[in-house]
Structure 1
Amino acid sequence: MKLTILYQFFLLLSLTDAFYFYITGGDRKCFYKELSQGELLVGKYDVEVYDPNTDTFTRTNSKQLGVVIDVEEVFDDNHRVVHQKGSPTGEFTFSAIDSGDHRICFQPQSSGWLAKVKTKVNVDFEVGDHEKLDSKKKGKVQSLTEKVKFLNNKVSDIRREQKLMREREASFRDQSEKTNARVVRWSIIQLVVLGLTCAWQLHHLRNFFVKQKIV
């Protein structure tokens, strides 16, 4: 079991290669990869420019800096099969036509004060067949889709709870208004009864005083 895990770990290391290097603007840096026929190479890169004010490497826009990427077949008299000009951050793919060593070169290009500035190039190579890489991308898409569905379900639950709270609030408000109306009605009835009682008592006392010839 342990040997299987170690084998899969080293196999993963052989398929994925991430590193960075420093280069002066305008210079060309190459790396070699042995690819089998039909094997797919996916390369991701990110170029940063040295800032002497902060003594760090920072990103810049595509108007100031660009990158030329070449892939050449070493076994076929350095035949160039890829020549791509891109932005400071990007990705390129290449499918090997024949088996053998391939040279992958990066050349940052810029103008003005950036022409000879020191740059840092972050590179991530991923090698495999089309099905594995496609399935990996599909897996990422599936994961994102599931996260979106989860968030949608959460939003639906929140909306349902808000609707339920509004319904309860409306029901409580209606009940409060009915209760207040009953209290007001009962208060009015009590006032009317009290007024009638007072009027009857006054009338009765008046008649009593008249009979006693007090008034």
Structure 2
Amino acid sequence: MVKVEKNEISFAKQAAQAGDIPYGGEKMSTKRYLVLLALAFLAIGLAACTLSASTPPPASSTADSAMQTLDANLSNIATQTAAAGGGGEAIPTATATAGSVDTGGAPATTEPPPPPPPPEKTAIPEATPGIPKTYKLEKGEFPFCIARRFDVDVGELLSLNGLNLNSVVSVGYTLKIPQTGHDFDGDRSLKKHPTTYEVLSGDTIFSIACKYGDVDPYLIAKINDLGAPYTLKAGRKLDIP
């Protein structure tokens, strides 16, 4: 209001100097005074509007300042929340186990196991070819049985091995087989064959062969798919060649 009064006085002086109105001891008419006063207020209003229009507020700087303030507030809130929850359980974080591979939920593929090795074929012995020079006795065998099997003279067999009709030989005894070519004196076959035989307790392929006389035990094993040690169970049916 002080500035307005000074402006009014200034305008009054200017008017007096221009000869429009008297100043000092001269009396100013009320009408002119009011007109000058209105002009003064109008000039002040125009000056204020011009100043306001020429200096618009910095919108961008104000927005940036607001965003910075918001970020700072959010940061403070997060810090206070973490400090307040310090005594609670920590949120577990996912950690990759060493050696594990994230398949994204897809089922793990596994290689099929290798096929089992083929079973080893059972070694099936061949029938004894011709007439051997020696033969080792197996369980259930005796000199007369061997003489029938190889079609040799039993007297020569006993004499060659220093045996007689009353001699007892054990399993594993090695007999010398005569090579004179003299045949067995008598019927070599004791039972008719080929046929089927039901295994009895204590039987071996060697004792069964001796029951038939001229049958080779290894041929029995071959046609019945038997491998060493040629174990037999009572009640089994064997094909006899």
Name the TM-score class by shorter chain: under 0.3
With structure 1 as the length reference, what TM-score do the two structures score? 0.21
With structure 2 as the length reference, what TM-score do the two structures score? 0.19
Per residue, is there more strand in 1 or in 2?
Answer: 1
Per residue, is there more helix in 1 or in 2?
Answer: 1
Query: Which gives a bigger RCO, structure 1 or 2 (Cα 8 Å, sep 6+)?
Result: 1
Larger radius of gyration: 2
